[in-house]
Structure 1
């Protein structure tokens, strides 16, 4: 069971829209190591006084390569459309290989930056060690309104950098997962935290539409 803190909760990583929660960018350690059936829990950042609150959880039920994710018709709607709604601005289906050269193509998106154009930056961080996309159809995405685990599960709260996977007791882990799954609500319950708290996010709606 992976736990980590979400520094930027914009609906990009993870992307909780269209009834499938996807982790396609950022967190390469988790994307490389996770297996079917693993549970991922993302906690809120201290900058919004959300430390210890759960932003989302998901159970991994499918793993795809970037190329397969890009080509899958079901996930064309997760390709970014800048200048549209915030949900479309933060599409995470942004990577695929150029057939002739096998070089990575990064579509214009939240992760676009000058270094990525040269093969570095976010492109290198996202693709350098893995090209796996994690998908979960059993998930709950609360944004800033998520619950805090009760004191009996305090060992599963994570507020530090990076991610943690190991647990001291499989029985305790299963009890915590059962608690998660018993929380009311599934799927997209609330908007991403930054949509209301980060003023720069709102400025995206003022940009001209760009077809990716």
Structure 2
């Protein structure tokens, strides 16, 4: 079976979508078309926004090779992912609050949404986000990933400036390729960085902490 590589711009990098913590990178909310289409073995690549107030276009936010796909109700109950349920208190405030395991199936097309980055600020249910997130009740999971957040390296120039540009999405929605040459090239490059799992902080965290300069080279981790 052929593999796919999906690319999209991470417009809000807060550790929520994707959520790279507690041993798995998960995409449980947002990007319904990618969550609907991706299968085990596919790559999901998120790059930075080129918006004026961000200026991270062409930089890698994260890359995950999908190693498991489960439905949203199973994600809620699976013992492995209980730490991904958001909690807005404690010492690890940002990590805990960014949890993406936020939807409990209540039956009869009813979902309960936890206080989270997709609820209203007061914790009440946001029906618009609920409808969009649960419209595709699939969660993409990976234990083979690297997450840089706002501290990632710039993608190689051949992905940005010539024929391979079709691999990198620079606008809305996403791009998908199943071209083995491009996928193998990316896989060789990402493996060559020699890093894995969480290697940087989400851009929004860096901004909140007062960092104005993001690291331009991959970190050892």
TM-score bracket relative to the smaller structure: 0.7 to 0.9
Q: 2: distance between equivalents of 1:179 and 1:68?
A: 34
What CA distance in whole angstroms lies between the structure 1 residues aligned with 2:185 and 2:21? 28
Paired residues of 1:15 and 1:92 also in contact (CA < 8 A)? yes
Partner of 1:36: 40
**What is aligned with 1:51?**
57
- State the Cα RMSD in Å: 1.9
The match for 1:139 among 142, 145, 152 is: 145
Q: CA deviation at 1:105?
A: 1.1
Instruction: Give the whole-Å Cα distance in 2 for the aligned partners of 1:152 and 1:162.
Output: 22
Where 2:177 maps in the other structure, the secondary structure is coil
Relative CO higher for 1 or 2, CA cutoff 8 Å, sep ≥ 6? 1
The partner residue of 2:30 within 23, 26, 35 is: 26
Q: What does residue 170 of structure 1 align with?
A: 180
SS of 1:48 mapped into structure 2: coil
Q: Can you list the C-alpha shifts for 1:43-93, whole angstroms capped at 9, x where unaligned?
A: 011232100000000000000111111101111000000133100001000
Q: 1:113·1:121 contact (CA, 8 Å) conserved in 2?
A: no
Query: Given the alignment, which residue of 97, 102, 117 partners 1:89?
Result: 97
Residue number in structure 1 paired with 2:219 = none
1:161 to 166, 172, 178: 172
Show the counterpart of 1:192.
202
In 2: Cα distance, 1:147 partner to 1:118 partner = 37
Q: How much does 1:149 deviate? A: 1.8
Does the residue aligned with 2:159 lie in a helix, a strand or coil? Answer: helix
Moved more, 80-89 or 17-26: 80-89
Question: How much has 1:153 moved relative to structure 2?
Answer: 2.6
For residues 157 and 164 of structure 1, the distance between their equivalents in structure 2, rounded to whole angstroms, comes to 7
Segments of structure 2 that go 5 or more residues without pairing to the other structure are 210-221
Aligned residues: 195
Matched, 1:106 2:113: yes
Segment drifting more, 5-14 vs 104-113: 104-113
Q: Distance in 2 between matches of 1:117 and 1:86?
A: 19
Which whole-Å CA distance do the structure 1 matches of 2:152 and 2:17 have between them? 17
Q: Give the TM-score normalised by the residue count of structure 2.
A: 0.82
SS of the equivalent of 2:133 reads helix
CA contact (8 A) 2:120 2:126 kept: no
Structure with more of its chain in helix, by fraction: 1
| Partners of 2:168 and 2:175 within 8 A in 1 | no
